Chains A and B, each alone.
Chain A
Amino acid sequence: QKEVEQDPGPLSVPEGAIVSLNCTYSNSAFQYFMWYRQYSRKGPELLMYTYSSGNKEDGRFTAQVDKSSKYISLFIRDSQPSDSATYLCATRGSTLGRLYFGRGTQLTVWP
């Protein structure tokens, strides 16, 4: 079983839609959870960073972690064409520990 599972999509939504991106992970020791956004042929950009369970909001983005079910979510409200990218979830167990990535979900927001 892979450490982090993520549906690669692709996911295509109209502008203004609410987008839900999800990952599951296998190791209950993971405590740090991240979402990265990656545009084509660019390095990943850190979008959201959370520790342990709970929600974190930043503008149109909300990251949610449910440690009981080992489920990570990223919600994008009022999606924009500029949100079109690949979104990767990532997690690790401790500070400076190895980061485990999902495969990434390719999102297209059409005008």
Chain B
Amino acid sequence: GAVVSQHPSRVICKSGTSVKIECRSLDFQATTMFWYRQFPKKSLMLMATSNEGSKATYEQGVEKDKFLINHASLTLSTLTVTSAHPEDSSFYICSAWDPATNEKLFFGSGTQLSVL
């Protein structure tokens, strides 16, 4: 299946700093990528849809100024958590459609963010 690479796998930062998470589609182009957030023992919560060359579409309740998404190329989408606070601590996962069929969603390995 399609491979989605996510970096870093874990990040610890101080409150007030910004953190950037990268999501890359390997060997395929992804015009659309998705960013999810997951709390312990909870399901995936869709945060936003990242569209190459245009603005991201955010889900209701997700602060677009807090979670900046940039999809500058067909293989890279980034999520920047700005002025991070402890409540932003969570597991963030990106995903992209399988390019062969556009029917299956493949996920990155996730990023555990801990804000002190």
Contact = CB atoms under 8 A, between A and B. Distances in A.
Interface of A: 6, 8, 32, 34, 36, 41-46, 49, 88, 90, 95-96, 98-99, 101-104, 106
A42 B110 contact: yes
Nearest to B107: A43
A107 B86 CA distance: 29
Contacts of A43: 4, 6, 93, 95, 107-110
Interface stretch (B11-19, B62-70, B75-83, B98-106): B98-106
Contacts of A44: 44, 93, 107
Q: Which of B43, B95, B110 has the most CB of A within 10 A?
A: B43
A41 B112 contact: yes
Given A96-B97, A96-B102, A8 B41 contact: yes
Given A34-B104, A46-B1, A104 B109 contact: no
Q: Is chain B's binding surface mostly helix, strand, loop or mixed?
A: strand
Contacts, number: 50
Contact of A101 (B1, B41, B43): B43
Contacts of B109: 42-43
B44 A46 contact: no
The 3 tightest CB contacts between A and B, nearest first, are A43-B107, A103-B43, A43-B110
Contacts of B56: none
A36 B104 CA distance: 11
A4 B7 CA distance: 30
B58 interface: no
Nearest to B6: A43
Contact of A49 (B32, B95, B103, B108): B103
Nearest to A49: B104
B25 to A, nearest CB: 13
Contact of A46 (B41, B43, B106, B108): B106
Contacts of A36: 107
Contacts of A90: 105
B46 A46 contact: no
A58 B95 CA distance: 23
